Amino acid sequence: MIVVPVELGERRYEVLVGPGARRELSGAVRRIGARRAVVVTQHGIDVDIDAGVPTDRVVVPDGEGAKSMAQVEAVCRAFVRAGLSRRDVVVALGGGVVSDLAGFAAAVHLRGVAYVTVSTSLLGQVDAAVGGKTGVNLPEGKNLVGAFWQPAAVLCDTDALSGLPAREWASGRGEMAKYAFLPGPAGDRPGAGAAERLLAMPLPAQVAHCVAIKAAVVAADEREGDRRMLLNYGHTLAHALEAAAFEGGAGWDLRHGEAVAIGLVFAAVLAARLGRIDDARVEEHRAVVRGLDLPAELPVGADPALLVRLMARDKKADHDLTFVLDGPDGVAPVRGVPEAAVLAALADMDNAVARRQPGGGDRG
Ligand code: GLY
Protein backbone atom coordinates (compact mmCIF):
# COMPACT_ATOMS: atom_id res chain seq x y z
CA MET A 1 0.00 0.00 0.00
CA ILE A 2 1.30 3.47 -0.83
CA VAL A 3 0.60 6.05 1.87
CA VAL A 4 0.46 9.72 0.89
CA PRO A 5 -0.03 12.13 3.80
CA VAL A 6 -1.90 15.39 3.38
CA GLU A 7 -0.09 17.59 5.91
CA LEU A 8 -2.70 19.90 7.39
CA GLY A 9 -1.59 20.09 11.03
CA GLU A 10 -4.18 18.61 13.34
CA ARG A 11 -6.38 17.85 10.32
CA ARG A 12 -3.61 15.79 8.72
CA TYR A 13 -4.84 12.64 7.00
CA GLU A 14 -3.55 9.85 4.84
CA VAL A 15 -4.47 8.75 1.36
CA LEU A 16 -3.92 5.00 0.98
CA VAL A 17 -3.43 3.86 -2.59
CA GLY A 18 -3.26 0.30 -3.88
CA PRO A 19 -5.10 -2.93 -4.46
CA GLY A 20 -7.38 -3.71 -1.52
CA ALA A 21 -7.11 -0.24 0.06
CA ARG A 22 -10.84 -0.41 0.88
CA ARG A 23 -10.03 -3.02 3.52
CA GLU A 24 -8.40 -0.27 5.61
CA LEU A 25 -11.85 1.26 6.19
CA SER A 26 -12.57 -0.36 9.55
CA GLY A 27 -9.18 0.79 10.87
CA ALA A 28 -9.88 4.36 9.74
CA VAL A 29 -13.32 4.26 11.40
CA ARG A 30 -11.81 2.86 14.59
CA ARG A 31 -9.24 5.68 14.72
CA ILE A 32 -12.06 8.25 14.45
CA GLY A 33 -13.79 6.52 17.38
CA ALA A 34 -17.11 6.35 15.50
CA ARG A 35 -19.77 3.94 16.70
CA ARG A 36 -22.04 4.19 13.65
CA ALA A 37 -21.49 4.83 9.95
CA VAL A 38 -23.69 5.86 7.07
CA VAL A 39 -22.43 4.94 3.61
CA VAL A 40 -23.46 7.29 0.81
CA THR A 41 -23.22 5.65 -2.59
CA GLN A 42 -24.81 5.29 -6.04
CA HIS A 43 -26.38 2.34 -7.86
CA GLY A 44 -23.93 0.11 -9.68
CA ILE A 45 -20.98 0.72 -7.34
CA ASP A 46 -20.27 -2.88 -6.62
CA VAL A 47 -17.46 -2.58 -4.09
CA ASP A 48 -17.74 -4.50 -0.81
CA ILE A 49 -16.72 -2.53 2.26
CA ASP A 50 -16.89 -3.11 5.98
CA ALA A 51 -16.79 -0.14 8.32
CA GLY A 52 -16.57 -2.42 11.36
CA VAL A 53 -19.51 -0.66 13.09
CA PRO A 54 -23.30 -0.74 12.52
CA THR A 55 -23.79 0.83 9.12
CA ASP A 56 -26.73 2.31 7.18
CA ARG A 57 -26.65 2.95 3.47
CA VAL A 58 -28.09 5.82 1.41
CA VAL A 59 -28.23 5.41 -2.36
CA VAL A 60 -28.33 8.72 -4.21
CA PRO A 61 -29.34 9.25 -7.87
CA ASP A 62 -26.95 8.39 -10.69
CA GLY A 63 -24.59 10.87 -12.26
CA GLU A 64 -24.17 14.58 -11.69
CA GLY A 65 -27.90 14.79 -10.85
CA ALA A 66 -26.99 13.67 -7.32
CA LYS A 67 -25.17 16.95 -6.67
CA SER A 68 -28.17 19.07 -5.68
CA MET A 69 -29.35 20.88 -2.56
CA ALA A 70 -32.36 18.56 -2.54
CA GLN A 71 -29.99 15.60 -2.23
CA VAL A 72 -28.06 17.30 0.59
CA GLU A 73 -31.35 17.52 2.48
CA ALA A 74 -32.27 13.92 1.65
CA VAL A 75 -28.87 12.63 2.76
CA CYS A 76 -28.82 14.67 5.99
CA ARG A 77 -32.33 13.44 6.83
CA ALA A 78 -31.09 9.89 6.31
CA PHE A 79 -28.21 10.64 8.72
CA VAL A 80 -30.74 11.77 11.33
CA ARG A 81 -32.90 8.67 10.82
CA ALA A 82 -29.78 6.51 11.19
CA GLY A 83 -28.97 8.21 14.50
CA LEU A 84 -25.62 9.52 13.28
CA SER A 85 -24.04 11.58 16.06
CA ARG A 86 -21.29 14.18 15.78
CA ARG A 87 -18.74 11.53 16.74
CA ASP A 88 -19.81 9.08 14.05
CA VAL A 89 -18.72 8.86 10.44
CA VAL A 90 -20.01 9.25 6.90
CA VAL A 91 -18.44 6.98 4.30
CA ALA A 92 -18.48 8.27 0.71
CA LEU A 93 -18.32 5.20 -1.54
CA GLY A 94 -18.05 6.15 -5.20
CA GLY A 95 -16.49 8.64 -7.57
CA GLY A 96 -16.26 12.42 -7.46
CA VAL A 97 -20.01 13.01 -7.48
CA VAL A 98 -20.44 10.93 -4.34
CA SER A 99 -17.47 12.42 -2.45
CA ASP A 100 -18.57 15.97 -3.37
CA LEU A 101 -22.13 15.36 -2.13
CA ALA A 102 -21.36 13.16 0.87
CA GLY A 103 -18.46 15.37 1.95
CA PHE A 104 -20.68 18.46 1.83
CA ALA A 105 -23.49 16.70 3.71
CA ALA A 106 -20.89 15.66 6.33
CA ALA A 107 -19.65 19.27 6.53
CA VAL A 108 -23.10 20.65 7.36
CA HIS A 109 -24.72 17.79 9.28
CA LEU A 110 -24.74 18.75 12.98
CA ARG A 111 -22.24 21.46 11.87
CA GLY A 112 -19.71 18.86 10.82
CA VAL A 113 -19.10 15.13 11.15
CA ALA A 114 -16.11 13.12 10.00
CA TYR A 115 -16.09 11.41 6.61
CA VAL A 116 -13.91 8.85 4.92
CA THR A 117 -13.90 8.43 1.16
CA VAL A 118 -13.52 5.06 -0.54
CA SER A 119 -12.88 6.30 -4.05
CA THR A 120 -13.94 4.02 -6.89
CA SER A 121 -13.13 6.07 -10.01
CA LEU A 122 -9.81 7.17 -11.50
CA LEU A 123 -10.99 10.79 -11.55
CA GLY A 124 -11.94 10.55 -7.88
CA GLN A 125 -8.67 8.93 -6.89
CA VAL A 126 -6.37 11.39 -8.65
CA ASP A 127 -8.37 14.49 -7.80
CA ALA A 128 -11.88 14.80 -6.38
CA ALA A 129 -11.49 12.63 -3.28
CA VAL A 130 -8.41 14.45 -2.02
CA GLY A 131 -8.19 18.00 -0.72
CA GLY A 132 -11.53 18.65 0.95
CA LYS A 133 -13.40 20.54 -1.74
CA THR A 134 -17.00 19.44 -1.31
CA GLY A 135 -20.18 20.83 -2.78
CA VAL A 136 -23.19 20.62 -5.04
CA ASN A 137 -24.60 22.38 -8.09
CA LEU A 138 -27.34 25.01 -8.38
CA PRO A 139 -29.55 25.43 -11.44
CA GLU A 140 -27.37 28.53 -12.07
CA GLY A 141 -24.14 26.54 -12.27
CA LYS A 142 -21.89 23.73 -11.11
CA ASN A 143 -20.28 23.56 -7.65
CA LEU A 144 -21.67 26.93 -6.60
CA VAL A 145 -22.46 25.81 -3.03
CA GLY A 146 -19.86 23.99 -0.99
CA ALA A 147 -17.37 23.87 1.83
CA PHE A 148 -13.74 23.04 2.42
CA TRP A 149 -14.14 19.99 4.64
CA GLN A 150 -11.25 17.58 4.80
CA PRO A 151 -11.83 13.83 4.97
CA ALA A 152 -10.40 11.82 7.86
CA ALA A 153 -8.89 9.36 5.36
CA VAL A 154 -9.10 8.55 1.65
CA LEU A 155 -8.89 4.97 0.39
CA CYS A 156 -8.00 4.69 -3.30
CA ASP A 157 -8.52 1.02 -4.03
CA THR A 158 -7.08 0.37 -7.48
CA ASP A 159 -8.92 -2.98 -7.60
CA ALA A 160 -12.14 -0.97 -7.70
CA LEU A 161 -11.08 0.48 -11.06
CA SER A 162 -11.10 -2.86 -12.87
CA GLY A 163 -14.72 -2.56 -14.04
CA LEU A 164 -14.55 1.13 -14.92
CA PRO A 165 -16.23 1.96 -18.26
CA ALA A 166 -13.96 3.31 -21.02
CA ARG A 167 -15.33 6.84 -20.83
CA GLU A 168 -14.64 6.95 -17.09
CA TRP A 169 -11.03 5.89 -17.69
CA ALA A 170 -10.79 8.65 -20.27
CA SER A 171 -12.18 11.14 -17.80
CA GLY A 172 -9.62 10.14 -15.17
CA ARG A 173 -6.79 10.29 -17.71
CA GLY A 174 -7.80 13.88 -18.58
CA GLU A 175 -7.40 14.86 -14.95
CA MET A 176 -4.09 12.96 -14.79
CA ALA A 177 -2.81 14.79 -17.85
CA LYS A 178 -2.72 18.11 -15.97
CA TYR A 179 -0.24 16.67 -13.46
CA ALA A 180 2.28 16.24 -16.28
CA PHE A 181 2.56 20.04 -16.37
CA LEU A 182 2.46 20.85 -12.64
CA PRO A 183 5.44 20.99 -10.25
CA GLY A 184 6.29 17.63 -8.67
CA PRO A 185 5.60 16.83 -5.00
CA ALA A 186 8.87 18.51 -3.98
CA GLY A 187 8.06 21.61 -6.05
CA ASP A 188 10.41 20.57 -8.87
CA ARG A 189 9.54 21.73 -12.42
CA PRO A 190 8.24 18.88 -14.61
CA GLY A 191 10.78 18.22 -17.34
CA ALA A 192 10.07 17.03 -20.88
CA GLY A 193 8.68 13.49 -20.88
CA ALA A 194 6.88 13.93 -17.53
CA ALA A 195 3.70 12.43 -18.99
CA GLU A 196 5.54 9.41 -20.43
CA ARG A 197 7.27 8.79 -17.11
CA LEU A 198 3.97 9.01 -15.27
CA LEU A 199 2.26 6.61 -17.63
CA ALA A 200 5.14 4.13 -17.50
CA MET A 201 4.49 3.62 -13.76
CA PRO A 202 2.22 0.83 -12.48
CA LEU A 203 -1.33 2.11 -11.88
CA PRO A 204 -1.08 2.47 -8.07
CA ALA A 205 2.15 4.48 -8.47
CA GLN A 206 0.50 6.70 -11.12
CA VAL A 207 -2.40 7.43 -8.80
CA ALA A 208 -0.10 7.98 -5.81
CA HIS A 209 2.13 10.34 -7.81
CA CYS A 210 -0.86 12.51 -8.76
CA VAL A 211 -2.13 12.42 -5.17
CA ALA A 212 1.31 13.43 -3.86
CA ILE A 213 1.39 16.45 -6.19
CA LYS A 214 -2.10 17.43 -5.11
CA ALA A 215 -1.35 16.84 -1.41
CA ALA A 216 1.66 19.19 -1.56
CA VAL A 217 -0.43 21.93 -3.18
CA VAL A 218 -3.32 21.50 -0.73
CA ALA A 219 -0.94 21.54 2.25
CA ALA A 220 0.49 24.84 1.00
CA ASP A 221 -2.83 26.51 0.19
CA GLU A 222 -5.87 24.65 1.45
CA ARG A 223 -8.37 27.45 0.74
CA GLU A 224 -7.21 28.31 -2.77
CA GLY A 225 -5.74 31.70 -2.03
CA ASP A 226 -3.30 31.31 -4.88
CA ARG A 227 -1.22 28.14 -5.28
CA ARG A 228 -4.18 25.74 -5.22
CA MET A 229 -5.41 27.42 -8.39
CA LEU A 230 -2.69 25.41 -10.16
CA LEU A 231 -4.88 22.34 -9.70
CA ASN A 232 -7.34 24.06 -12.00
CA TYR A 233 -4.90 23.95 -14.90
CA GLY A 234 -7.03 23.34 -18.00
CA HIS A 235 -10.22 23.79 -16.00
CA THR A 236 -11.32 27.31 -16.98
CA LEU A 237 -12.39 26.30 -20.47
CA ALA A 238 -13.38 22.83 -19.20
CA HIS A 239 -15.86 24.32 -16.73
CA ALA A 240 -17.23 26.61 -19.45
CA LEU A 241 -17.71 23.66 -21.82
CA GLU A 242 -19.45 21.73 -19.04
CA ALA A 243 -21.59 24.72 -18.10
CA ALA A 244 -22.58 25.26 -21.74
CA ALA A 245 -23.86 21.67 -21.79
CA PHE A 246 -25.30 21.69 -18.23
CA GLU A 247 -27.07 25.05 -18.35
CA GLY A 248 -27.06 26.12 -21.95
CA GLY A 249 -28.17 22.85 -23.55
CA ALA A 250 -25.10 22.63 -25.82
CA GLY A 251 -25.29 19.33 -27.64
CA TRP A 252 -21.97 17.77 -26.65
CA ASP A 253 -21.40 14.95 -24.22
CA LEU A 254 -18.04 15.47 -22.52
CA ARG A 255 -16.89 13.79 -19.34
CA HIS A 256 -15.11 16.15 -16.95
CA GLY A 257 -11.62 14.89 -17.77
CA GLU A 258 -12.31 15.04 -21.50
CA ALA A 259 -13.27 18.69 -21.08
CA VAL A 260 -10.07 19.22 -19.04
CA ALA A 261 -8.02 17.70 -21.89
CA ILE A 262 -9.44 20.26 -24.33
CA GLY A 263 -8.91 22.94 -21.69
CA LEU A 264 -5.22 22.02 -21.31
CA VAL A 265 -4.62 22.49 -25.03
CA PHE A 266 -6.58 25.73 -24.97
CA ALA A 267 -4.58 27.03 -21.99
CA ALA A 268 -1.38 26.31 -23.91
CA VAL A 269 -2.67 28.04 -27.05
CA LEU A 270 -3.67 31.06 -24.97
CA ALA A 271 -0.30 31.10 -23.17
CA ALA A 272 1.42 31.12 -26.57
CA ARG A 273 -0.85 33.98 -27.74
CA LEU A 274 0.28 35.93 -24.68
CA GLY A 275 3.93 35.18 -25.44
CA ARG A 276 4.41 33.06 -22.32
CA ILE A 277 5.40 29.82 -24.12
CA ASP A 278 6.47 28.84 -27.62
CA ASP A 279 4.72 26.70 -30.23
CA ALA A 280 6.82 23.65 -29.35
CA ARG A 281 5.41 23.73 -25.81
CA VAL A 282 1.88 24.01 -27.22
CA GLU A 283 2.60 20.91 -29.30
CA GLU A 284 3.80 19.12 -26.12
CA HIS A 285 0.37 19.77 -24.63
CA ARG A 286 -1.35 18.43 -27.75
CA ALA A 287 0.93 15.38 -27.78
CA VAL A 288 0.20 14.53 -24.14
CA VAL A 289 -3.55 14.89 -24.65
CA ARG A 290 -3.60 12.92 -27.90
CA GLY A 291 -1.22 10.32 -26.45
CA LEU A 292 -3.82 9.69 -23.78
CA ASP A 293 -6.48 9.29 -26.48
CA LEU A 294 -8.30 12.39 -25.37
CA PRO A 295 -9.92 15.17 -27.40
CA ALA A 296 -7.72 18.19 -28.16
CA GLU A 297 -10.24 20.22 -30.18
CA LEU A 298 -13.24 22.37 -29.34
CA PRO A 299 -16.52 20.51 -29.78
CA VAL A 300 -18.33 21.26 -33.04
CA GLY A 301 -20.68 24.23 -32.66
CA ALA A 302 -18.91 25.76 -29.64
CA ASP A 303 -19.91 29.43 -29.41
CA PRO A 304 -16.85 31.56 -28.52
CA ALA A 305 -18.90 34.44 -27.08
CA LEU A 306 -20.81 32.09 -24.77
CA LEU A 307 -17.61 30.35 -23.67
CA VAL A 308 -15.98 33.69 -22.83
CA ARG A 309 -19.06 34.71 -20.79
CA LEU A 310 -18.94 31.43 -18.90
CA MET A 311 -15.17 31.64 -18.34
CA ALA A 312 -15.58 35.11 -16.81
CA ARG A 313 -17.78 33.45 -14.17
CA ASP A 314 -15.01 31.04 -13.12
CA LYS A 315 -14.41 30.91 -9.36
CA LYS A 316 -10.77 31.99 -9.86
CA ALA A 317 -11.93 35.18 -11.59
CA ASP A 318 -12.39 38.48 -9.82
CA HIS A 319 -14.62 40.39 -12.25
CA ASP A 320 -12.11 39.59 -14.96
CA LEU A 321 -10.79 36.69 -17.04
CA THR A 322 -8.35 34.67 -14.94
CA PHE A 323 -6.55 31.59 -16.22
CA VAL A 324 -3.89 29.20 -15.01
CA LEU A 325 -1.25 29.39 -17.72
CA ASP A 326 2.12 27.88 -18.46
CA GLY A 327 5.04 30.30 -18.69
CA PRO A 328 8.78 30.71 -18.28
CA ASP A 329 8.53 29.95 -14.54
CA GLY A 330 6.01 27.15 -14.94
CA VAL A 331 2.25 27.11 -14.51
CA ALA A 332 0.78 30.10 -12.64
CA PRO A 333 -2.49 32.04 -12.24
CA VAL A 334 -2.72 34.97 -14.66
CA ARG A 335 -5.34 37.66 -14.00
CA GLY A 336 -6.85 40.25 -16.31
CA VAL A 337 -6.35 38.33 -19.56
CA PRO A 338 -7.75 40.49 -22.40
CA GLU A 339 -10.96 39.12 -23.91
CA ALA A 340 -9.54 39.66 -27.42
CA ALA A 341 -6.68 37.25 -26.64
CA VAL A 342 -9.12 34.64 -25.36
CA LEU A 343 -11.28 34.94 -28.48
CA ALA A 344 -8.18 34.74 -30.67
CA ALA A 345 -7.02 31.60 -28.84
CA LEU A 346 -10.45 30.00 -29.34
CA ALA A 347 -10.15 30.85 -33.05
CA ASP A 348 -6.61 29.37 -33.08
CA MET A 349 -8.10 26.12 -31.75
CA ASP A 350 -10.57 26.04 -34.66
CA ASN A 351 -7.84 26.95 -37.15
CA ALA A 352 -5.70 24.08 -35.87
CA VAL A 353 -8.58 21.73 -36.71
CA ALA A 354 -8.97 23.31 -40.16
CA ARG A 355 -5.25 22.82 -40.81
CA ARG A 356 -5.56 19.11 -40.19
CA GLN A 357 -8.60 18.64 -42.47
CA PRO A 358 -7.76 17.29 -45.96
CA GLY A 359 -7.49 20.35 -48.21
CA GLY A 360 -7.33 22.46 -45.07
CA GLY A 361 -5.32 25.02 -46.93
CA ASP A 362 -2.42 27.17 -46.45
CA ARG A 363 -1.22 26.58 -43.01
CA GLY A 364 0.39 23.15 -43.37
N1 GLY B 1 -9.94 19.89 -8.15
C2 GLY B 1 -9.17 21.02 -7.84
C3 GLY B 1 -8.92 21.18 -6.37
O4 GLY B 1 -9.20 20.28 -5.60
O5 GLY B 1 -8.47 22.21 -5.96
Residues with a CB atom less than 6 Å from ligand 1 = 127, 131, 133, 228, 231-232
> What is the 8-class DSSP label of residue 242?
H
Tens-of-pLDDT digits for all 364 residues of the chain? 999 999 999 999 999 999 999 999 999 999 999 999 999 999 999 899 999 999 999 999 998 889 999 999 999 999 999 999 999 999 999 999 999 999 999 999 999 999 999 999 999 999 999 999 999 998 877 888 999 999 999 999 999 999 899 999 999 999 999 999 999 888 788 777 788 888 889 999 999 999 999 999 999 999 999 899 999 999 999 999 998 987 767 788 899 999 999 999 999 999 999 999 999 999 999 999 999 999 999 999 899 999 999 999 877 777 789 999 999 999 999 999 999 999 999 999 877 665 655 544 333 3
Nearest CA to ligand 1 atom 3: 231
DSSP 103-167: HHHHHHGGG--EEEEEE-SHHIIIIITSS-EEEEEETTEEEEEEEE---SEEEEEGGGGTT--HH
How many angstroms separate the alpha carbon of residue 351 from the centre of ligand 1? Answer: 31
Looking from the CA of 117 toward its CB, the CA atoms found within 13 Å total 36
Proportion of the chain in helix, strand, coil states, percent, rounded to 5: 50, 15, 35
Global pTM value: 0.92
- Sketch out the chain's domains with CATH numbers: 2-163 (3.40.50.1970), 226-356 (1.20.1090.10)
Reported as a single tens digit per residue, the pLDDT across 119-162 is: 999 999 999 999 999 999 988 778 889 999 999 999 999 999 99
Reported as a single tens digit per residue, the pLDDT across 162-202 is: 989 999 999 999 999 999 999 988 878 877 778 888 888 99
Question: Which ligand 1 atom is at minimum distance from the Cα of 231?
Answer: 2
**Could you confirm whether 319 is annotated as catalytic?**
no
Sequence letter at residue 116: V
Question: Which ligand 1 atom is at minimum distance from the Cα of 175?
Answer: 1
Please list, residue by residue across 172-181, b when 16 or more beta carbons sit within 10 angstroms of its beta carbon and e when fewer do: bbbbbbbbbb
